[in-house]
Amino acid sequence: MNDIARMINDLQTAAMTPLDLADHYWIVGGATDQVYSSKTNTYVPLDDPAYVQFLADGKYPSPIAVEADIWPCQADIKPAWLFNGTSFAQPAVGAWTKTQLHAYQVMSRYDAEQGGMVLTSGMPILTNDRSQAKISGARQAAEKDSAFTTQWHAADGTFYSLASADVIAMSDELQTHIDNCFSTSATVAADIEAGTTTTTDQIDAAFAAVVAAAKK
């Protein structure tokens, strides 16, 4: 088989082989010194061993205009917080940009805030936005009427009889939890900017403390 025939055969084989989007390469913007690797979510040089093997296996990188155009191929297999609308590649394996870390901490704060809590009384409550609105409404009613009572459907599926003081206490504890989430978020954000928080593990540890306090 001559070189032309071999090239045609390789192209036909590549055309019939579905792309492995989790382990593929893209040439972004006509770059001649690097390619984007979906496996590592980084840009790698042309002599990267894995890329060299990729080519040796008869596979071909895909040309693409800008990095953002790759995202539709990665959105189902990578976390959304990586993508800022323009880019999502990491600067290195195990490293993230400050923008990515900020997005991750915002997501972590939201998950902690919405993840539920256990009141001092022992009653577990939901803390999602809908539950926060309900608790706020119940508090308003309790503040207007000291004789107010309600049957609260708790997170464990049972009903608890709450007097006005119980409702106000529930609202106060919920607000403390929310404040803890945002205070932690502010601290983590400052640490990201200062360069003292550089990993998602550090962010996880910060919010783990908030979650633990809420589920005491």
pLDDT confidence tier of residue 96, bands split at 50, 70 and 90:
very high
Asked whether residue 109 carries a pLDDT value surpassing 70, the answer given is: yes
Q: Both 38 and 106 in a single domain?
A: no
Neighbours of 159 (CB within 10 A): 10
> CA-CA distance, 153 to 90, in Å (whole number)?
44
Q: Both 117 and 208 in a single domain?
A: yes
Range of the domain at 30: 3-73
Domain count, the chain: 2
Question: Within its chain, how far is the Cα of 149 from the centroid?
Answer: 40
User: Percent of the chain scored above 90 by pLDDT?
Assistant: 91
Asked if residue 82 belongs to a domain, the reply is no
Q: Which pLDDT does position 48 carry in this prediction?
A: 98
Q: Which residues pair with 150 in a beta bridge?
A: 162
Q: What is the pLDDT of residues 154-169, one digit of tens each?
A: 999 999 999 999 999 9
Q: Which pLDDT does position 216 carry in this prediction?
A: 80
